[in-house]
Structures are given as structure tokens and as C-alpha cells.
């Protein structure tokens, strides 16, 4: 079996949404599990798995966007404006 590549990992993560974050995270884990710790694709995959974990607790992929204003009309109907860069706290 050939090694996973950074490009393959980026293709999986590129279109991620909160709804599918954990399924994609599992696929990346499978891709990189046989790679040595120092392999560039493994390191990249681990970083992307962390992003997907944060995304799973967010409501938007908008990593670089400002959070939605709470003054926005209709705010009460929006369940969350948490971006992947600042996800909702985990439930315990």
C-alpha cells in the first residue's frame, strides 16, 4: 500500500462542514495510521484532524471570518455562530 499524501488529506478537508467533520477525521486517521511519526503527511494529517475536531463543534467552516454579530436581525434563530477557529465548548 502506498503512503498517503498531503494533497489527499487537503482534498478531504477542503470541503469539510461541521456535519461531516468526524467522518472525514476518521478517514484521515485511516490514511495516516501506518505512517511513521516524522512523515510529513502524518504530521499534516494530525493537524487537520485537530481542525476537524474543532469544526465538529462549530457551525461554520469560516476559520478566518469574524464571528456573526449578535445584533444581526434574526440572531435568535441562528443556533450558533461559532467558527472552527473558536468552536462551541464541548458538552460534558
pLDDT at 63: 58
Cα torsion through 61, 63, 69, 72, rounded to 10: -30
- Where do the structural domains in the chain lie, given as residue ranges? 6-77
Output 92 or 40, whichever has higher pLDDT: 40
Contact 58, 78 (CB under 8 A): no
Mean pLDDT lowest among 4-13, 14-23, 29-38, 71-80: 71-80
The mean pLDDT value of the chain amounts to 80
pLDDT tens per residue across span 70-91? 676 666 655 555 667 777 676 6
Q: Does residue 3 have a pLDDT over 90?
A: no
pLDDT tens per residue across span 27-44? 999 999 999 999 999 999
DSSP string, 20-86: GHHHHHHHHHHHHTTS-TT-HHHHHHHHHHHHHHHHTT-SB--SSSPPPPTTSTTGGG-S---BTTS
Half-sphere exposure for 10 (CA within 13 Å, toward CB): 6
Amino acid at each position: 500500500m502506498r503512503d498517503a499524501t498531503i494533497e489527499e488529506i487537503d482534498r478531504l478537508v477542503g470541503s469539510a462542514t461541521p456535519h461531516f467533520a468526524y467522518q472525514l477525521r476518521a478517514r484521515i486517521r485511516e490514511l495516516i495510521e501506518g505512517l511513521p511519526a516524522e512523515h510529513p503527511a502524518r504530521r499534516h494529517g494530525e493537524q487537520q484532524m485537530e481542525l476537524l475536531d474543532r469544526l465538529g463543534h462549530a457551525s461554520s467552516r469560516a476559520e478566518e471570518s469574524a464571528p456573526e454579530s449578535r445584533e444581526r436581525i434574526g440572531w435568535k434563530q441562528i443556533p450558533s455562530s461559532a467558527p472552527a477557529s473558536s468552536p462551541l465548548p464541548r458538552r460534558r
